[in-house]
Amino acid sequence: MTETSETIVEFHRVNFQIGAVKILDDLNLQINEGEILILLGESGCGKTTTLKLINRLIEPSSGEVLVEGKSTTDWNLINLRRRIGYVLQEAGLFPHFTIAENVALVPNLENWEAEKRQTRTTEMLELVGLNPQKFAARFPHELSGGQRQRVGVARALAANPDLLLLDEPFGALDALTRTNLQKEFAKLVRELNKTAVFVTHDLHEAFVLGTRIALMDKGRIVLNDTPENFVKSELPLARAYLETVRRYELF
Amino acid sequence: MNFFEFLQQNWSELLALTREHIFLIFVSTAFAVLIGVPLGILLTRRKSLQTPILGVANILQTVPSLALFGLLIPIPFVGGIGAKTAIIALTLYSFLPVIRNTVTGISGVDKKVKEAATAMGMTDWQILKMVELPLALPVMLTGIRVAVVIAVGVATIAAAVGAGGLGTYIFRGLRQNDNNLLLAGALSSAILALVADFALGQIEKIYSLPNIKNKFSRQRRKFVLISATALILILFGLSFWQNSNNSAANSADKIRVGSKDFTESLILAEILAQMLEKKNVQVERQFELGGNLAHDALLSNQIDVYPEYTGTAYTAILKRPPITDTDAVYQQTKSQYAKKFDLTVSPPLGFSNDFAILIRGDVARKNNLKTISEAVPLSANWQAGFGQDFMSRADGYAGFSKAYNFNFIKQPREMDLSLTYRALAASQVDLIAGNSTDGLISALDLFQLADDKRYFPPYQAVFIARQNKFELLSETFERLNNAISTEEMRRLNYAVDADKRAPKDAANDWLKQKGF
């Protein structure tokens, strides 16, 4: 992360509402190359909505979301999505595809040659710590939750996107598996120099992974700063989050 | 004759009917899938259409099957008699399970999986093809299985519109009071339903999720898919070949003989058909048409000739108020038919099949009843039972009860005409309106009360024919003029109804005996 890093995603006065209910309220946000931005907040605060606006799973009611300087509504929808990796809770793997087929999904859609595809799949499985010989031919239901989530990450990385979106990917895992995956993921993203937007409600996870934390409340970003400055914040909601972490640290 | 002897003697006909049955189910299910699956997919894309379209499919399924067939008959292009109408009705019945299970199957795909597919940049078509359809397949197959099993049952009704199938045996069995026929028809369709259910259940199992995930059964799945498709194509081709053989074009020198759906009409049609065949005229039989179907079929040029009764033609078809002068009815029917429908009426065949008011023989003897008028004072507590026909027509129940001043306390039971004889013999009803030439009258020891007020119009048997085929038919019509007496007709009916002779054999016997 240097001073000269480029803005990859930009929210400009974005509103999103369903009927009369405001989900996002005049949201402004910049995400720069190489950052791991954490969207932190309670359920219903709009963090997942913010994430889904980036790959246009939903469209803003007003304002615009720019990806690489171009409004998402100007992008070819399919192209936009295929160059953004997406990881969701419980992985969302295709139950009728093998692990290899799941990982090779986007390369497949993009009509990569068979050989290149296979090499890439093997590479990706190794990258997320799964033995390709052992796992490639298996089906998702034969894997543990943690292993499935690793496959989810491999699938998101397979077509080598610059930007990754993650929607509470480790939320449903047990504490030990979660901690391991968080550490490995942080290392992986930094090594590969990816930009990532990561949705969580867990401040501990935010600290382990994030280079910047955006705290959201009722459709607005109320704090947008580095983890170091987050700790010093006097904001009541930030203090409340910090309380939860301190309580853990007593034990 | 016990059931096994019956099967031994009739297995080839039973097989042919089963094949017709399978053909009906097959083609209608294929149509239901070809139309229903895309429609179901559309409904998952346009959710606002779900309520109206599923609602219509739902209503279609609740229409009683006989009524649906009846509703379709007068509709041009769609209706008429034969396999086409039956296939359309069956297709309409099969829609609901196919459409509903397509919608349920696709909507039931895990939301997370769909979200992942969308976010990975799959197009709607790719999501459908690669994710939704494979995952929804087991549920969709269940829908098809349900549709097929329903169709096996409903297809038995198809016999009423002349589409053949196992229902032919069931209807014939009811009519002729023949348990072997009933059992053969009902048992075969039940077995067919069970076999179809089992076979489709197996396919469904192979495509269910735990098996899809299994490497070994992937090859098996492919094998099943290929062999099922091959089987379907072979069956399809075979049945079309069969069908095209059956329905050779309506050539000028061919006579298509129709009949109504009761024994006497069948025998008369057989007599005519066999006499024509002896003259080397090509004959096609379109027998067992229910209600006024035979008349409709004649008008729409689907048959050329069928046996009718002057009284029926006069009151039920020409809608004239009943009169009792035999000659007047015949003459007026003949001239009106020529004028209104461009149809010819043959000379009378010699007997009349009048309405016969019947009671049990023992009741008649005990109370010394001979005429309808004598029965009126005893009848207040009687349960009457009438066919749908008698209940609805002008010269039927309404006029009859008024003319004789009948006052039944209990509402007459409306039932299938062929069941009323049995119901009367079994004391479930006490008075019925049957046919005077019915063989069952003596077979079941029933007694016909005389129509002392001459209420019922005469029902002389005649043939009604299309004008353009009259030349081919006129000579045969002349030979049959006054050729069959009431007593002979009763015997012929008895031979079929009680002695279980096939109508064609009974007709043949009579022709030989007459030296025709």
The CA distance from B490 to B505, in Å, is 15
Q: Between A77, A84, A96, which is nearest B212 by CB?
A: A96
A88–B contact, CB cutoff 8 A? yes
Note the pLDDT of residue B73: 72
Q: Is B9 at the interface with chain A, CB within 8 A? A: no
Would you say residue B231 has pLDDT above 60?
Answer: yes
Sheet holding A62-67, edge to edge: A21-32, A7-18, A62-67, A70-71
Report all structural domains of chain B as residue ranges with CATH numbers, in order of start: 3-246 (1.10.3720.10), 254-352+458-514 (3.40.190.10), 355-449 (3.40.190.120)
From A157, which residue of chain B is nearest by alpha-carbon distance? B120
Residue of B nearest to A90 (CA): B112
The reply to whether residue B118 touches residue A90, judged by beta carbons under 8 angstroms, is no
- Yes or no, beta carbons of A96 and B117 under 8 Å apart: no
CA distance A218 to chain B (A): 24
Q: What is the pLDDT of residue B329?
A: 92
With an 8 Å Cβ cutoff, are B123 and A78 in contact? yes
Contact state of A96 with B134 under an 8 Å Cβ cutoff: yes
Distance of alpha carbon A236 from alpha carbon A243, whole angstroms: 10
Contact between B120 and A155 using a beta-carbon 8 Å cutoff: yes
Structure confidence at residue B149 (pLDDT): 92
Q: Which residue of A has its CA nearest to B211?
A: A96
pTM for the model stands at 0.72
Residues of A in contact with B113 (CB under 8 A): 92-95
pLDDT tens track for A24-82: 888 889 999 889 999 988 888 888 999 999 999 988 999 899 888 888 888 998 989 99
User: Of A10, A61, A29, nearest to A215 (Cα)?
Assistant: A29
Nearest CA-CA distance, residue A229 and chain B, Å = 33
Residues of A in contact with B137 (CB under 8 A): none
Q: Supply the mean pLDDT for chain A.
A: 87
Q: Which chain A residues are within 8 Å of B221, Cβ to Cβ?
A: none
Domain boundaries, chain A: 1-83+163-251, 92-161
The pLDDT of residue B319: 86
* DSSP letter string, B92-161: HHHHHHHHHHHHHHHHTS-HHHHHHHHHTT--HHHIIIIIIHHHHHHHHHHHHHHHHHHHHHHGGGGGGG
**CATH, domain A1-83+163-251, list 3.40.640.10, 3.30.450.20, 3.40.630.10, 3.40.50.300:** 3.40.50.300
Give the model's confidence band at A248: pLDDT under 50 very low, under 70 low, under 90 confident, else very high. low
A90 touches chain B (CB under 8 A): yes
User: Average pLDDT in the B239-255 region?
Assistant: 59
pLDDT at B216: 53
Residue among A57, A86, A112 with most chain B CBs within 10 A, to mutate: A86
A88/chain B closest Cα distance in angstroms: 7
Q: Which residues of B touch A80 (CB under 8 A)?
A: 121
pLDDT of the residue at B308? 95
Is the ipTM value over 0.85, yes or no?
yes
Tell me the shortest Cα–Cα distance from A97 to chain B, in angstroms.
8
CA distance readout (Å), B57 to A40, A224, B43, B54, B408: 48, 55, 13, 5, 41
Token look-up 């409306």 returns B414
Partner residues linked to B260 by β-bridges: B289
Contact: B121, A139; criterion CB under 8 Å: no
pLDDT of residue B247: 46
- Bridge partners (DSSP) listed for residue A196: A36, A164
Mean residue pLDDT across chain B = 86
Give me the residue from B113, B123, B135 closest to A92, CB to CB: B113
Is B113 within 8 Å of A109 when comparing Cβ atoms?
Answer: no
Query: Of B460, B463, B436, which Cα lies nearest the Cα of B448?
Result: B436
User: Higher model confidence: residue A246 or residue B193?
Assistant: B193
How much is the average pLDDT of B286-291?
80
Is-contact B415 B385, C-beta < 8 A? Answer: yes
> Could you read off the pLDDT of A130-160 as tens digits, one per residue?
899 999 889 998 898 889 989 998 999 898 8
Q: Which of A82, A88, A139 sits opposite B116 (nearest CB)?
A: A88
Do B121 and A96 lie within an 8 Å CB cutoff?
no
Strands (DSSP E) contained in B215-346 are 254-260, 282-289, 305-309, 343-345
Q: Does the structure show a pLDDT above 60 at A250?
A: no
Sort out which chain B residues have CB atoms less than 8 A from A141's CB and list them.
213
Residue B496's pLDDT band, with cuts at 50, 70 and 90, is confident
Q: Could you say which DSSP state residue B388 is in?
A: H
B343-345 and B282-289 strand pairing: unpaired
- Tokens 């049990």 sit at which residue? B360
Q: What is the pLDDT of residue B227?
A: 80
The answer on pLDDT for A10 being more than 80 is: yes
Can you tell me the mean pLDDT for B53-73? 83
Residues 6+ apart with CB under 8 A from B443: B494, B497, B498
Range scoring the smallest mean pLDDT among B184-198, B205-219, B391-405: B205-219
- CB contacts, 8 Å: B126 with chain A: 109
List of chain B residues whose C-beta atoms are within 8 Å of the C-beta of residue A77:
121
Query: Tell me, what's the pLDDT at B79?
Result: 66
Residue of B109, B111, B120 to mutate for A, most A C-beta atoms under 10 A: B120
B136 touches chain A (CB under 8 A): no
Q: Name the percent of chain A lying above pLDDT 70.
A: 96
Distance, in angstroms, between B116 CA and closest chain A CA? Answer: 6
Give B96-123 pLDDT, tens digit per residue: 999 999 999 999 999 989 999 999 999 9
> Tokens 């002779």 — which residue?
B501
Give the integer Cα–Cα distance in Å for B293 and B417: 16
- Determine whether the interchain pair B121/A137 forms a contact, defined as Cβ–Cβ distance below 8 Å: no
- CA dihedral (A104, A108, A111, A117) in degrees, to 10, reads 20
CB contact under 8 A, A95 and B112: no
pLDDT band of A2, cuts 50, 70, 90: very low
CB contacts of A139 in chain B (<8 Å) are 213
Check residue B461 and give its pLDDT: 95
User: Tell me, what's the pLDDT at B358?
Assistant: 93
Q: Which of B118, B119, B131 sits opposite A94 (nearest CB)?
A: B131
The pLDDT of B136-148, averaged and rounded, is 92
Q: Chain A contacts of B121, Cβ < 8 Å?
A: 77-82, 106, 109
